Chain A
Amino acid sequence: MSDTSEDWPLYEVFLRGKRGLNHVHVGSLHAADAQMALHHARDLYTRRNEGVSIWVVASTDITASSPDEKDPFFAPSGDKVYRHPTFYAIPDNVPHM
């Protein structure tokens, strides 16, 4: 049985994009503390897009309402062009790509 004192707590991540009006929940990650969580959120959820505002909150600090709440939709950021499928020059006659 391994030592669980090495395990990092869970943080929820909220992002507001450059053209966004408010922060949106995009998921969670593990970090040892809030500062690390912020760094990790930038790496994982924004690929370090500079214009995005990030909030991280320890999951245990969130008070939730009753069932049937809806989580907001989130969209991935695209700061590197080779992440966009349209960038690759695949000839038109290759189907399903």
Chain B
Amino acid sequence: MTTVELQEHFDRTIAHDRRIEPRDWMPDGYRKTMIRQISQHAHSEIIGMQPEGYWITRAPSLRRKAILLAKVQDEAGHGMYLYCAAETLGVDRADLTRRLINGDQKYSSIFNYPSLTFADVGVIGWLVDGAAICNQVPLCRSSFGPYARAMIRICKEESFHQRQGYELLMTMMSGTRAQRAMVQDATNRWWWPSLMMFGPPDNDSPNTQQSMAWGIKRHTNDELRQRFVDMTVPQAEALGVTLPDPDLRWNDERGHYDFGEVDWAEFKRVIRGDGPCNTERIGNRRTAHESGAWVRAAAAAHAAKHASPATSGNHQTVRQSAQGGPDE
């Protein structure tokens, strides 16, 4: 087939809302965008283990400890599912990790905020996972097969995470005055960063149009942000916390909640690396990866010593070979 025919086949697949699979031909831009989006999503899951992971050893009841440990373990698993999906496009996970550590690839800026109290664990589950679910449910229909399938699995597991967080908050809100104050304080700190998780406003998001044309993105940033606000306000009311936005009010005409202006300057600063925890988050990841190098090397050396002779042959593999190497 000629390139034109391949492009037409690709376009038809997208137009018919069918999946692109790893061995299919795809435009270079699509492949690069997919690699970037999936890797960043994977990095976010792994970095996201840190703000909550800190509280596992400090959890104030054994039940909460078990729940939190399972949750953070899930996040490691989600990161791995997503790295797998990225690898079907011909990149190597170790290489992606190096790019993350070097600052060449990003992760969700929400994790650059500190988790200061145990209430943050609940609020992260409620707001951060809630926002993530809003983002992720549409991605279950992403045009790239492995990504869509990873998202389906992740979404199923993540709804438990959100409920875990909310349940903790409900318990705390019917607890001591100190617990209630802790929840309100955590809510005040995490609300605006959660809104920023949906990315810049539509009029400042140049990639959105192409991503939507390729079926990579199904809704715009502002659409998803509005959906999140509409879902979350009643949850806050049921919990008994106030959201730190004096401009938040129901608009009958629009049928949605109006809300205040996000501080986009702060968003840009944090994305650029100037957030409260950027250095710490990457630093921890780098330390774990570098300290673990001798362990990984030992396992590889042991395997090499005990390997059976490899079969030779000219195999086509299930993965696409890297055509030009990953971008960025």
Contact between A and B in the complex (any CB pair below 8 Å): yes
A50 contacts chain B at the CB level, 8 A cutoff:
no
| Cβ-defined contact, A59 with B318, below 8 A | yes
Residues 57-93 of chain B, each 1 if its beta carbon lies under 8 Å from chain A, else 0: 0000000001100100010010011001001000011
Chain A residues with CB below 8 A from B21, complex form: 67-71
Given A3-B297, A8-B296, A91 and B238 contact (CB-CB distance below 8 Å): yes
| Cβ-defined contact, A36 with B163, below 8 A | no
The residue in B23, B98, B231, B294 that gathers the most chain A C-beta atoms within 10 A of its C-beta is B23
B153 contacts chain A at the CB level, 8 A cutoff:
yes
Query: For residues 38 through 97 of chain A, which have their beta carbon under 8 Å from a beta carbon of chain B?
Result: 44, 59-64, 66-71, 73-76, 80, 82-85, 87-91, 93-97
B219 contacts chain A at the CB level, 8 A cutoff:
no
B317 contacts chain A at the CB level, 8 A cutoff:
yes
Residues 9-25 of chain B, each 1 if its beta carbon lies under 8 Å from chain A, else 0: 00000000000010111
Residues 15-46 of chain A, each 1 if its beta carbon lies under 8 Å from chain B, else 0: 00000000000011110110010000000100
| Cβ-defined contact, B297 with A27, below 8 A | no
Interface band, chain B: 35 or more
Interface band, chain A: 35 or more
| Cβ-defined contact, B163 with A4, below 8 A | no
B254 contacts chain A at the CB level, 8 A cutoff:
no
> When chains A and B are docked, how far (Å) is the Cα of A8 from the Cα of B292?
13
Query: For residues 262 through 299 of chain B, which have their beta carbon under 8 Å from a beta carbon of chain A?
Result: 293-294, 296-297, 299
Given A27-B150, A60-B317, A97-B162, A76 and B23 contact (CB-CB distance below 8 Å): no
Given A28-B84, A33-B306, A5 and B316 contact (CB-CB distance below 8 Å): no
> When chains A and B are docked, how far (Å) is the Cα of A36 from the Cα of B307?
13
| Cβ-defined contact, B153 with A76, below 8 A | yes
B178 contacts chain A at the CB level, 8 A cutoff:
no
Chain A residues with CB below 8 A from B80, complex form: 29, 44
| Cβ-defined contact, B299 with A32, below 8 A | yes
Chain A residues with CB below 8 A from B307, complex form: 33
Residues of A contacting B: mostly? loop
Chain B residues with CB below 8 A from A69, complex form: 21, 23
> When chains A and B are docked, how far (Å) is the Cα of A85 from the Cα of B165?
11
- The minimal Cβ–Cβ distance linking B290 to chain A, given in whole angstroms, is 8
B302 contacts chain A at the CB level, 8 A cutoff:
yes
Chain B residues with CB below 8 A from A75, complex form: 153
Chain A residues with CB below 8 A from B303, complex form: 32-33, 36
**15 A-B contact pairs sorted by A residue (CB < 8 Å):** A3-B293, A5-B297, A6-B297, A8-B299, A33-B303, A60-B315, A61-B311, A63-B317, A69-B23, A76-B156, A84-B160, A85-B163, A87-B163, A88-B164, A95-B234
Question: Which B residues are within 8 Å of any A CB, using their own CB?
Answer: 21, 23-25, 66-67, 70, 74, 77, 80-81, 84, 87, 92-94, 98, 145-146, 149-150, 152-153, 156-157, 159-160, 162-164, 166-167, 170, 231, 234-235, 238, 293-294, 296-297, 299-303, 306-307, 311, 315-319
List the 4 closest A-B pairs by CB distance, nearest first: A32-B299, A33-B303, A6-B297, A6-B296
Question: Which A residues are within 8 Å of any B CB, using their own CB?
Answer: 2-8, 10, 12, 27-30, 32-33, 36, 44, 59-64, 66-71, 73-76, 80, 82-85, 87-91, 93-97
